[in-house]
Amino acid sequence: MIDPKWSIEFQYLILAASLRGDLLRQIPLDPTLFQAREKGPKSPIQQIAEIAVTFFETYGRTPALEEFRQLVSEASGGPERREALDDVVAAVLTTELPEDATFVRDRVKQQLELRAFEQAMLTTAPMLSQPDRIEEAREIMAKAMEPITVSDDRPRTIRVFGDAAMRIEMWKRGEEYGERIPTGFPALDRALSGGPTRRETAYFLAPP
């Protein structure tokens, strides 16, 4: 699965925006985004995220502080686990929320889109060798490319199909890495098919 590589502080910020802000009303938060990088039991952060998301999906609102503390108490599995969960709760409750949490929402949205696309790729890959399942694969991919529901209805972060025609035309012209930039040295520009691109690094080695 795709690892968002969020810092622990940013994960606290996401949970703060979920429990003390309106993030859960804007976007369907997925608790697995908080899963530990190593294999093993759920991390305390993921467990806290699951509690918040489950409550919101059940009651259509974020839990009040005492409700949340009660849910955390019921979810803990022993003194050490309870202490770890309490540490996360304390960090979330003391994390300062920005006035505008759009940046947080956009990062979560991007990861949700990546997860959906990744899962669709894994699901449809075995279907591509079966002609009778091609249409099914297309439907799965189309579903994965649908926008994540957010309040402002901005377009997806991933546009795999939308710019495909443009990228194919660039490839045909030999510009698949972007517009070429002339160096001002005709012989060098000819050798580089018009100059380097914005995504290339050029090293010039010559005697002093």
In tens, the pLDDT along 79-93 reads 888 899 999 999 999
Residues paired with residue 139 on neighbouring β-strands, in sequence order: none
pLDDT of residue 87: 92
pLDDT at 196 over 90: no
Work out the angle at residue 14's Cα, subtended by the Cα atoms of residues 28 and 95, and round it to the nearest 5 degrees. Answer: 150
Number of Cβ within a 10 Å radius of residue 55: 19
pTM of the predicted structure, to 2 decimals: 0.67
Domain positions in the chain: 8-94, 102-144, 163-201
In tens, the pLDDT along 142-176 reads 888 777 765 555 555 555 555 556 666 666 666 55
In tens, the pLDDT along 52-104 reads 999 999 999 999 989 998 999 888 778 888 899 999 999 999 999 998 888 99
pLDDT of residue 141: 83
pLDDT of residue 199: 65
**What is the rounded distance in angstroms from the CA atom of residue 37 to the CA atom of residue 43?**
9
Average pLDDT of span 22-30: 89
Helices (H), 3-101: 8-19, 23-26, 44-59, 65-75, 79-94
pLDDT of residue 139: 87
